[in-house]
Amino acid sequence: MITTAGIHDLVAEDLTRVEARMRQFVGDDNETLAEAIDYLVQAGGKRLRPIITLLATRFQPTDTDKAVSLAAAVEMLHTATLVHDDLIDNALFRRGSPTLNAKWSPGATILTGDYMFSRSASLAAETDSVRIVKVFAATLSTIVNGELQQLFNNGHDATPPTLEEYHRRIYAKTASLFAAAAKMGGILAKLPETLIQDLNDYGYYLGMAFQVMDDILDFQGDEERLGKPVANDLRQGIATLPALIFLESHPDHPIILKAVARRYPTNEEIQSVAAEIRDAGCLKQALDEARRFAEQAKDALKPLPDNQYRQALAHIADYAVARDI
């Protein structure tokens, strides 16, 4: 079996080029903007999305330069959406680093995100594949539409989402870009249609697993390490899987209903309901769900050739849900 270090070895060189391509500044001299993008690239995360794209392009000989551009496009799009999200949420830290909006005016933050959208579209077009550009642009539509729906559903009469609505929300928020990252890699590698669809499904299920894990983590509440308070989503009125599982046996739980109806419970109330949710074993149940998604991700890979790239993608799915509760 391939190890995490093994995956790193597979893509390390290209990933360095992906970061360089993201930093590559195009257009009139604008040192401040170039510095901001450097900062955002350097403060990046685990680069899961571009790694998936790169691995997906490896199943057939593929122009490395285009693969790097595509992976950079994917990560740039992701980063741009985070820049706007952090501004909208007034988040001051991300991954332990100050957000752009913590340092800059709202106007400069909005425009930097816009610039990154335009650069990500240019990078996607560098693949010379219109089909890839179409998938790329449609994915951004899906992500933004999902955020807007969440933003609009914020009245005092709001009720907790159904499980189906939750799944739709985390698809838009996370799984859509994971699916596109894998699918576009397959398109660039000119794989047969059925395998492109398999890669899409892999990305979809992996993204779902990844977001459920993130939603579990939110209830574990390690304020120092994560830089955000426990049950941050619920504080903002968003009920995620652990809360939805808990609601099945406590459908009238007043604090959750209060939070969802945007009547903002106190910190004590949130901490107490988070403890109840943990104590009831709902994080464990949510973890089971994440692991089912990860299994489905691996199942989707089965028709692909059994090589180190497929093993690496499977390993990422295992890794995504490897945390203990």
Binding site for its own copies (CB under 8 A): 26-28, 30, 32-33, 81, 84, 87-88, 105-108, 110-115, 117-119, 121-122, 125-126, 128-130, 133-134, 136-138, 140-142, 144-149, 151-152, 168, 172
Beta carbon nearer to its own copies, 185 or 221: 185
Kindly state the smallest distance separating residue 324's Cβ from its own copies, in Å. 35
Angstrom distances, CA of residue 172 to CA of 42, 139, 150, 169, 217: 26, 8, 10, 5, 19
Beta carbon nearer to its own copies, 42 or 90: 90
Kindly state the smallest distance separating residue 256's Cβ from its own copies, in Å. 23
- Structure tokens that stand for 185 in this block: 């890699």
3-class secondary structure, 325: coil
Stated as kind and residue range, the H or E segment containing 129 is none
Distance CA 139, CA 255 (A): 35
Residue with tokens 């699916």: 179
Beta bridge partners of 94: 97
Distance CA 51, CA 263 (A): 41
Q: What is the dihedral of CA 322, 224, 116, 9, to 10 degrees?
A: -40
Kindly state the smallest distance separating residue 149's Cβ from its own copies, in Å. 6
Kindly state the smallest distance separating residue 187's Cβ from its own copies, in Å. 13
Kindly state the smallest distance separating residue 151's Cβ from its own copies, in Å. 6
Beta carbon nearer to its own copies, 25 or 319: 25
Distance CA 64, CA 61 (A): 9
Q: How many CB atoms lie within 10 A of CB 13?
A: 12
Kindly state the smallest distance separating residue 229's Cβ from its own copies, in Å. 20
Beta carbon nearer to its own copies, 12 or 144: 144
Kindly state the smallest distance separating residue 193's Cβ from its own copies, in Å. 18
Distance CA 230, CA 222 (A): 7
Residue 295 half-sphere exposure toward CB, CA atoms < 13 A: 6
Beta carbon nearer to its own copies, 20 or 322: 20
CB-CB contact of 184 with 68 (8 Å):
no
Kindly state the smallest distance separating residue 270's Cβ from its own copies, in Å. 22
Beta carbon nearer to its own copies, 29 or 268: 29
Beta carbon nearer to its own copies, 115 or 293: 115
Distance CA 314, CA 259 (A): 37
Beta carbon nearer to its own copies, 12 or 26: 26
CB-CB contact of 206 with 320 (8 Å):
yes
Kindly state the smallest distance separating residue 279's Cβ from its own copies, in Å. 34
Beta carbon nearer to its own copies, 159 or 236: 236
Gyration radius of the chain over CA positions: 20
Those residues whose C-beta lies under 8 Å from the C-beta of residue 299, and which sit 6 or more positions away, are none
